[in-house]
Structure 1
């Protein structure tokens, strides 16, 4: 079971990283086009603020899933300097992982509620449901929660 979960998490993290990478490239193109249109042509596109914002939000939260999988977010490497006991470091890491899992699930629920609350509203320029932007929160948080579950189970197996 743990092997299947590990494979699933790896595949999800790779997919999220690929989509986020595509989003970063798309964001660069959108912003460059917008700057060109605004300053050279003198006619910015009507979606100049909304579309890059939408791409940025989704890209950031999908990239956070890959960071959670790699355990590379919010890590400054200070714990070994502050806590010398290896067993205390493991305990603190485990407590932190449980708290992060709880936080991700709470944020996913709040993001889901907000996304559905705003699905009937449309954005000004793109005329798409406003909830599409907010839906990045539950999608990203569920992905990060999945990665946390895998980390916790991997720690359990090692202990």
Structure 2
């Protein structure tokens, strides 16, 4: 999914550059559409990163906590805190999306809330991944 979004984004930017510098007439959506695709692609890709635990981390936990049991317990607590924060962020994102749904974007004339809707959608997806982490018995970082 992330690769498809990046490919579409690259194609749109290349087309926009061609139209602006070769043809001399950039498309009216040259700013908004790539921005919309970038936001949605990035936030949806964060769900996959959460699933695979591939987000950046400092890697200090194994240096500070030597007991595997304590690391697992601390990992569970971390997963729970992340789950709660993602749910709070999803609620705030939903409220912002609904607040801006009546406004339209300048070039695409679509509801502005569509851009902000990426936040609750991705946060709920990441929250589901955190739930999976909480209820599986595998080692947590």
Scaled by the length of structure 2, the TM-score of the pair is 0.92
Matching residue of 1:127: 109
Paired residues for 1:56-71 under 5 Å: 56-71=38-53
How far does residue 79 in structure 1 lie from its aligned partner after superposition? Answer: 1.9
How far does residue 40 in structure 1 lie from its aligned partner after superposition? Answer: 1.8
Aligned length: 139
Matching residue of 1:97: 79
Matching residue of 1:143: 125
How far does residue 80 in structure 1 lie from its aligned partner after superposition? Answer: 1.3
How far does residue 139 in structure 1 lie from its aligned partner after superposition? Answer: 0.4
How far does residue 153 in structure 1 lie from its aligned partner after superposition? Answer: 0.5
Structure 2: runs of 5 or more not aligned: none
| Per-residue deviation, residues 36-63 of structure 1 (Å, max 9, x unmatched) | 1122222211111100000001001110
Higher helix share: 1
Scaled by the length of structure 1, the TM-score of the pair is 0.82
Matching residue of 2:27: 45
Matching residue of 2:4: 22
**SS of aligned partner of 2:136:** helix
